């Protein structure tokens, strides 16, 4: 059972600031800049603050896009031995995700999804087991050869230093648990980079491809500039679908590597139950003061032949989208159950769905544009922090293609 309580700021919202909170994008284009030794946080009365897992990135480095808040009451109830509703994680869980996107999760496509991460997460296997047990998913273990963890060179040893408690572990757990939700039978390859530097992540990306994963997920990025494009070859591997988060800063400069024409750029949405045929409603993810689905017009990458939107002469981000808010994950080093958000969630979800479809070794990013009829068209919401795009499709959802949600969200696997 998934227990849902929306964390959407509104009346009674308490804004807690450590240092300065601005609505300008951070150094990596990852969302509102948050200064101070701890990230500035936004919360509703009575709920823990929502924080950014990863600190702002300095030049030459990329930043993960995960947001999180501890589920204090749930974790306390579990520690006290409680059961039932009090000990049930809040937020969307694996079963709700599969329902919302009509995923045939019992089908085994015999596929592997690679997730590229920063630093080692020592308790990864144990924490993944907790998540999968909670939602009735089959076990995925190292011993069973479902889960493989390697360093950036593709070797099982030595692994990078531990990132437990640093925030990178939240990103890693979010990624493997979202792949698990989208494709429970899939194998997972975790490739751990030594740092968030462009070069280390590019090396890890090449290793993920070399080790044979047909789908590779990347939940990190940086604002595009000439220095990012030097590493574009690492994200161009024919026979592999590469997915990257579009960023959490709303409409802004395009984010690398999502800006590349060889990459499927994943935007973010919010889900709610609804009394319609689908049983769900969906809109652009946009939480004031926290983040919004990234979109942008590349100044460095030419317009792909398969994109036809009119107001961006270059590559437009995003291509597709998926859930990016109010998600339950488990990470013991951060207290146990967390609520998470950000396009860090949508990228591994989309990657898992590509794997579930089983076509990744035969298709390119163009494929989804030729199968848009197999997506839910998202027509509500926007990703505006500042009125800088004139309420254009680059920042406002509309019928058909729009930049915040791309062509839409998965309706089964037909578009993938």
pLDDT tens digits along 270-296:
999 999 999 999 999 999 889 999 999
* CA angle in degrees (0–180, nearest 5) for 191-110-375: 90
pLDDT of residue 387: 67
pLDDT of residue 2: 52
pLDDT of residue 29: 40
pLDDT of residue 390: 80
In angstroms, how far is CA 161 from the centroid of its own chain?
Answer: 23
**Is the whole-model pTM more than 0.85?**
yes
Q: Provide the residue ranges of all domains of the chain, joining segments of one domain with +.
A: 58-69+92-410
Closest by alpha carbon to 31, among 340, 225, 398, 288? 288
pLDDT of residue 389: 79
Spatial contact of 182 and 103, defined as CB atoms under 8 Å apart: yes
Spatial contact of 255 and 246, defined as CB atoms under 8 Å apart: yes
Strands 41-44 and 280-284, bridge-based pairing:
unpaired
CATH number for the 58-69+92-410 domain, one of 2.20.25.90, 3.10.290.10, 1.10.1530.10, 3.40.50.200?
A: 3.40.50.200
**145-177 b/e (C-beta count within 10 Å ≥ 16 → b):** ebbbbbbbebeeeebbeebbebbbbbbbbbbbb
Residue ranges in the chain modelled with pLDDT below 70: 1-48, 386-387
């Amino acid at each position: 059972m998934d227990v849902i309580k929306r964390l959407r700021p509104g009346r009674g919202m308490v804004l807690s600031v450590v240092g300065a909170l601005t609505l300008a994008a951070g150094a990596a284009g990852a969302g509102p800049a948050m200064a101070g030794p701890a990230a500035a946080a936004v919360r509703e009365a009575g709920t823990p603050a929502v924080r950014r897992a990863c600190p702002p990135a300095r030049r030459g480095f990329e930043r993960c896009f995960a947001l999180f808040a501890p589920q204090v009451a749930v974790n306390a109830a579990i520690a006290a031995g409680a059961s039932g509703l009090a000990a049930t994680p809040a937020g969307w869980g694996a079963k709700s995700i599969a329902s919302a996107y009509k995923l045939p999760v019992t089908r085994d496509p015999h596929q592997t999804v690679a997730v590229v991460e920063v630093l080692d997460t020592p308790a990864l296997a144990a924490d993944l087991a907790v998540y999968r047990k909670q939602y009735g998913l089959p076990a995925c273990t190292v011993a069973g050869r479902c889960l493989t963890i390697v360093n950036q060179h593709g070797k099982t040893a030595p692994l990078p230093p531990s990132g437990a408690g640093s925030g990178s572990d939240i990103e890693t757990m979010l990624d493997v648990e979202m792949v698990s939700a989208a494709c429970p039978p899939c194998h997972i390859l975790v490739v751990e980079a030594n740092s968030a530097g462009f070069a280390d992540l590019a090396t890890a990306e090449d290793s993920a491809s070399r080790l044979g994963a047909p789908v590779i997920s990347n939940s990190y990025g940086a604002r595009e500039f000439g220095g990012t494009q030097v590493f574009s070859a690492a994200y161009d591997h024919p026979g592999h679908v590469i997915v990257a988060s579009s960023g959490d800063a709303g409409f802004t400069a395009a984010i690398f590597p999502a800006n590349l024409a060889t990459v499927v750029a994943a935007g973010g949405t919010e889900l709610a139950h609804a009394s319609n045929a689908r049983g769900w409603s969906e809109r652009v993810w946009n939480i004031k003061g926290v983040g919004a689905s990234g979109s942008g017009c590349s100044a460095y990458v030419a317009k792909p032949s398969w994109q036809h939107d009119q107001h961006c002469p270059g590559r437009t981000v995003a291509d597709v989208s998926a859930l990016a808010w109010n998600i339950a994950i488990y990470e013991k080093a951060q207290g146990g159950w967390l609520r998470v958000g950000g396009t860090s969630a949508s990228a591994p979800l989309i990657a898992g769905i590509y794997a579930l479809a089983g076509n990744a070794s035969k298709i390119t990013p163009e494929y989804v544009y030729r199968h848009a009829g197999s997506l839910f068209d998202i027509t509500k919401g926007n990703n505006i922090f500042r009125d800088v795009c004139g309420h254009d499709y680059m920042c406002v959802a509309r019928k058909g293609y729009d930049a915040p949600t791309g062509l839409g969200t998965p309706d089964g696997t037909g578009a993938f």
